Amino acid sequence: MNYLSVENISKSFGEVALFSNVSFGINKDQKIAFIAKNGTGKTTILNIIAGLASPDSGQVVSRKGIKIEYLSQEDNLDDNLTVEETIFNSDNETLKVIEEYEKALHNPNDEKAYQVAFEKMERLNAWDFETQYKQILSKLKLDDLTQKVSSLSGGQRKRLSLAVILIHKSDLLILDEPTNHLDLEMIEWLENYFQKEKITLLMVTHDRYFLERVCNEIIELDQGNLYTYKGNYSYFLEKKEERIAIEQASVDKAKNLFVKELEWMRRQPKARTTKSKSRIDDFFIIKEEAHKRRDNHKVQLEIDMERLGSKIAEFHHVSKSFGDLKILDKFDYVFQRNERIGIIGKNGTGKSSFIKMLLGEIPVDSGKVVIGETIKFGHYSQDGIVIKPGQKVIEVIKEFGEYIPLTKGRKISAAQLLERFMFSRSRQYDFVEKLSGGERKRLYLCTVLIQNPNFLILDEPTNDLDIVTLNVLEEFLLDFPGCLIVVSHDRYFMDKIVDHLFVFKGDGVIEDFPGNYTDYKVYEDSKPAEENTVAKSVDSRSKIASKAKLSFKEKKEFDNIEGEIEALTMRKNDIEAKFLDTSLSVEEINELSIKLQEINQKIDQKEGRWFELSSMLE
């Protein structure tokens, strides 16, 4: 079943043509990724499909009655609403019934309203839906439903926007970088959610593992042409390589033919017969084909950076807290030459703060950080770059450096570096205001690299970068001869670049793991079930308890919680069974509902405490 058709759409801004005659369709249950370079109009195409922008020509035709939800880079949340009010701010009938039921529960004196709400919940079978939407909020760490949207951080707003479109259960979801602002645990949950749910997707994402595991079709806009690949990311890479090889063979053939035809053209035949005119027309077609050039840059640089001394950077017994939030606890580490470290962990565990301590931007509470005299840091932060009004691309990078020195007296100029990161010579003289968000990030990256650091720190460098740019960056970093620290949620990127990981566990605990992210996941998954799952049975809790570093009092509390949770669960089951009794009065139903809510709250509290104690395990 066709949900939506994009028919020959084109879009230009001034004299710049973003794309022309783009056509493709989206069918029910397809999970499509849209891939293109930054600045070629990916987000514009999504906006046109979502009805937020109009094409210069062509049209988008959607099936009558289809419901479309769009997760854009910029949210349209109402700052005056709470998280809960935002969730219920929908024309979804089931959500409205759940909202009525939640209100009735908080107003037990209005028996009629409760009875009406209860019957509606029964009629729509909304109980499972209620459970699912609460699970979505929990997985996206949106636990305080009373919090005002205006007080949310940028990451929380993005997660709330994502939660809203998942909960609304629309026919087609359009997602622009859905994994931005999610930690690894959330990303993996979202992957599993999309894999299991029968859902139709069109998304732009730089997360290649996400593409690999979620999408069953990839549409690529490459040099103005649209290509479709019926498979996941691995299939796309294989078939794209084959396509490029065929195109290159065609170009090589055209070049040989061009040489012959050029010789004929130079003789300038005087007799302009129909046949010769046709041959002249063909010559210009051959010429265009022969001069096709792909902008694939293999970054192979022998960088002549400043020498690294014997002392790089050292953490000696460093502790750091922000109030009750512990970041480091007597942390010791001595960095070695050419180390390539990846930093992973949940949001709020202190990854960015660790970087700031290394750079000396925030003080430590105790201990000391020692930096070698020869160290020259290059820091790519999440804050981005501040652009002066009226600046051109080449002017921005030249403020930071004119060239990078290479071995054997060679060098790469600022303009050449920009070219390698896909800013053509003509594009380098564009005003920065014209750049897309991803292109600005790419320019910022170049300003860091042109300074020729010998210790490079990249804090979420992959956010908003397209896949083509990521491949170029990876090639550059594989050539980079200095020390490297990468904070990233991009698992594919981490696997390719780093040698070992700092895993931020929270509460000041950092695990130094000797391998990349995939190695770490294999290691975690190979642990006994009681160590790497949320211990769903009493038996698994007992096994974990024997390994816990708990005080006598805490061990006793831990053991008692098992029995308490089991007893509460039995009471919960008893109450739920009583709801099957059709002779119950409204008053009795109301009383049972309140008791059930209280028991659920107690179970949540007990399990929360169990998780807290279990986090102290070895």
In this prediction, residues 59-75 reach a mean pLDDT of 90
Last residue in a domain, options 508, 526, 544: 526
Q: Is residue 258 part of a domain?
A: no
Q: What percent of the chain has pLDDT over 70?
A: 83
The CATH number covering residue 174 comes to: 3.40.50.300
pLDDT of residue 127: 75
Task: Decide if pLDDT at 189 tops 80.
Answer: yes
Is 360:313 a contact under the CB 8 Å cutoff? no
Task: Decide if pLDDT at 615 tops 70.
Answer: no
Question: Tokens in use for 593?
Answer: 């509902």
Q: Is residue 291 part of a domain?
A: no
In this prediction, residues 18-25 reach a mean pLDDT of 90
Give the orientation angle of helix 111-124 with respect to helix 586-614, to 10 degrees: 70
Determine the Cα–Cα distance for residues 442 and 569; give it in Å rounded to an integer: 53
Closest CA to 44 of 33, 56, 61: 56
- Together in a domain, 407 and 462: yes
- 131-160 pLDDT, tens digit each: 777 888 888 988 888 899 999 888 889 999
The more confidently predicted of residues 311 and 223 is 311
In this prediction, residues 213-237 reach a mean pLDDT of 88
Long-range contacts of 479-482 (CB under 8 A, 24+ apart): 479/299, 479/300, 479/301, 479/302, 479/303, 480/303, 480/456, 481/303, 481/305, 481/338, 482/305, 482/308, 482/338, 482/453, 482/454, 482/455, 482/456
Question: Residue 195 class from Cβ within 10 Å (0-12 exposed, 13-18 middle, 19+ buried)?
Answer: exposed
In this prediction, residues 267-287 reach a mean pLDDT of 58
In this prediction, residues 187-200 reach a mean pLDDT of 90
pLDDT of residue 540: 39
Determine the Cα–Cα distance for residues 510 and 492; give it in Å rounded to an integer: 22
pLDDT of residue 538: 38
Least confident interval from 71-75, 318-322, 508-512: 71-75
SS (H, E, C) 314-342: EEEEEEEEECCEEEEEEEEEECCCCCEEE
In this prediction, residues 487-496 reach a mean pLDDT of 88
Task: Decide if pLDDT at 544 tops 60.
Answer: no
The number of residues making up the chain comes to 618
Task: Decide if pLDDT at 539 tops 60.
Answer: no
- Together in a domain, 346 and 494: yes
- Together in a domain, 70 and 200: yes
Task: Decide if pLDDT at 285 tops 70.
Answer: no
- Together in a domain, 102 and 162: yes
The more confidently predicted of residues 499 and 16 is 499
- Together in a domain, 90 and 65: yes
Q: How many CB atoms lie within 10 A of CB 315?
A: 21
Q: Looking at the 3D structure of the chain, how many domains does it have?
A: 3
User: How distant, in Å, are the alpha carbons of 140, 189, 250, 373, 556 from that of 179?
Assistant: 11, 11, 38, 39, 41
Q: Is residue 499 part of a domain?
A: yes
Is 332:370 a contact under the CB 8 Å cutoff? no
Closest CA to 92 of 119, 130, 62: 130
Closest CA to 502 of 481, 487, 489: 487
The more confidently predicted of residues 266 and 73 is 73
Domain coverage including residue 437: 313-526
pLDDT of residue 559: 63
- 384-394 pLDDT, tens digit each: 777 788 899 99
pLDDT of residue 295: 47
Question: Residue 291 class from Cβ within 10 Å (0-12 exposed, 13-18 middle, 19+ buried)?
Answer: exposed
Q: Is residue 259 part of a domain?
A: no
User: How distant, in Å, are the alpha carbons of 94, 134, 342 from that of 355?
Assistant: 46, 35, 12
Which of the four pLDDT bands, split at 50, 70 and 90, describes residue 543? very low
- Mean residue pLDDT of the chain comes to 81
- Together in a domain, 344 and 390: yes
Least confident interval from 288-292, 316-320, 359-363: 288-292
Question: Tokens in use for 108?
Answer: 């037990």
pLDDT of residue 172: 94
Determine the Cα–Cα distance for residues 349 and 346; give it in Å rounded to an integer: 6
pLDDT of residue 281: 62
Q: Is residue 40 part of a domain?
A: yes
State how far Cα 194 lies from the chain centre: 14
Q: Is residue 319 part of a domain?
A: yes
**Cβ neighbours for 137, distance < 8 A, ≥ 6 positions apart:** 83, 87, 143, 145, 163
pLDDT of residue 297: 45
- Coil, helix or strand for 582? coil
Task: Decide if pLDDT at 293 tops 50.
Answer: no
Q: Is residue 301 part of a domain?
A: no
Is 94:124 a contact under the CB 8 Å cutoff? yes
Last residue in a domain, options 207, 235, 263: 235
In this prediction, residues 198-222 reach a mean pLDDT of 90
DSSP letters along 93-107, please?
A: HHHHHHHHHHHHHT-
Least confident interval from 128-132, 457-461, 498-502: 128-132
User: How distant, in Å, are the alpha carbons of 219, 545, 559, 604, 605 from that of 554?
Assistant: 55, 10, 9, 19, 16
pLDDT of residue 114: 78
- Together in a domain, 321 and 358: yes
pLDDT of residue 100: 81
- Together in a domain, 174 and 317: no
pLDDT of residue 287: 57
Is 202:173 a contact under the CB 8 Å cutoff? yes
- Together in a domain, 465 and 595: no
Q: Which residues pair with 392 in a beta bridge?
A: 431
User: How distant, in Å, are the alpha carbons of 19, 70, 219, 228, 437 from that of 40?
Assistant: 7, 20, 14, 17, 12
pLDDT of residue 470: 85
Question: Tokens in use for 311?
Answer: 């002392």
pLDDT of residue 214: 92
Last residue in a domain, options 170, 202, 235: 235
The more confidently predicted of residues 571 and 341 is 341
Task: Decide if pLDDT at 310 tops 90.
Answer: no
Positive or negative CA dihedral for 439, 443, 448, 449?
positive
The more confidently predicted of residues 265 and 9 is 9
- Together in a domain, 580 and 516: no
- Together in a domain, 548 and 600: yes
**pTM for this one?**
0.64
Identity of residue 71: L
Most confidently modeled of 152-161, 294-303, 459-468? 152-161
The more confidently predicted of residues 543 and 30 is 30
Least confident interval from 113-117, 162-166, 293-297, 456-460: 293-297
pLDDT of residue 549: 53
Cα radius of gyration (the chain):
29
Helix (H) or strand (E) holding 502: strand 500-506
Determine the Cα–Cα distance for residues 306 and 453; give it in Å rounded to an integer: 8
Question: Tokens in use for 131?
Answer: 């459970």
Closest CA to 467 of 438, 495, 434: 438
- Together in a domain, 508 and 588: no
Task: Decide if pLDDT at 7 tops 90.
Answer: yes
Strands lying side by side in the sheet with 200-204: 68-71, 172-176, 200-204, 31-35, 217-222, 225-229
pLDDT of residue 5: 94
Q: What percent of the chain has pLDDT over 90?
A: 27
Question: Residue 213 class from Cβ within 10 Å (0-12 exposed, 13-18 middle, 19+ buried)?
Answer: middle
Q: Is residue 348 part of a domain?
A: yes
